[in-house]
Amino acid sequence: MKVPQKTLSQFPSDLKVLDKVLLWFDQLNQPSIPKKVWLQCQLALAEAFTNAVRHAHRDCSSDVTIDIEVTLFPEFLEMRIWDHGTPFDLEQRLKNAEVVNQNVEGGRGLAILQQISDQLSYQRTADNRNCLLIVKRY
C-alpha cells in the first residue's frame, strides 16, 4: 500500500485568504483523483473554511489561525479543519439545515458538506480546538 501523503497549513481567520487556501489545496491534486471528486472537495474545503471564519471565529481577530490538514490515501482523502470557536452539535445543526428557507442566502454550508462527504464529523479536541473531519472516497 502506498504511504499516505499528509500536508498541514495554517491560515489567518479571514475570508480574504480563501483564494490562498484553495491554491494551497490545488497543489495537492493527484492524477488518480477524478476531476468531479476534486471539485467537490474544493467546494467542501471552501464551505468549511468559510464557516470557521464566519461562525467559529466570528468574535476573533484574524490572528487566530485555522489549521487545515489534508491526507491523501490511494482511494480517499481526509480533510481536517481546526478552529478555536465554541463547539456545536453537528447532528442537530444538520437537522436544522434541512429546514433552511431556500430563499435566504447562506445557511446551507453544512448541508452541502453532508452531501459531498462520505463521512462528516465534528469534535472538540484535547487542546480546546474543534476539528471538522471530511472524508471523500474516489
pLDDT at 126: 95
| Rounded average pLDDT over 2-26 | 95
| Rounded average pLDDT over 18-32 | 97
Judged against a pLDDT cut of 60, whether residue 53 lies above it is answered with yes
Domain borders along the chain are: 5-137
Multiple choice CATH, 5-137, 3.30.300.30, 3.30.565.10, 3.40.50.2020, 2.60.40.10: 3.30.565.10
φ/ψ (deg, to 5) at 45: -65, -45
φ/ψ (deg, to 5) at 43: -60, -45
Contacts of 31 (CB under 8 A, 6+ apart): none
Q: Are 113 and 44 within 8 A, CB to CB?
A: yes
Q: Report the 10 Å Cβ neighbour count for 56.
A: 23
Tens of pLDDT along 62-88? 899 999 999 999 999 999 999 999 888
63 HSE (CA, 13 A, CB side): 1
What's the chain's average pLDDT? Answer: 90
Judged against a pLDDT cut of 70, whether residue 102 lies above it is answered with no
pLDDT at 103: 46
> What residues does 68 pair with on adjacent strands?
9, 81
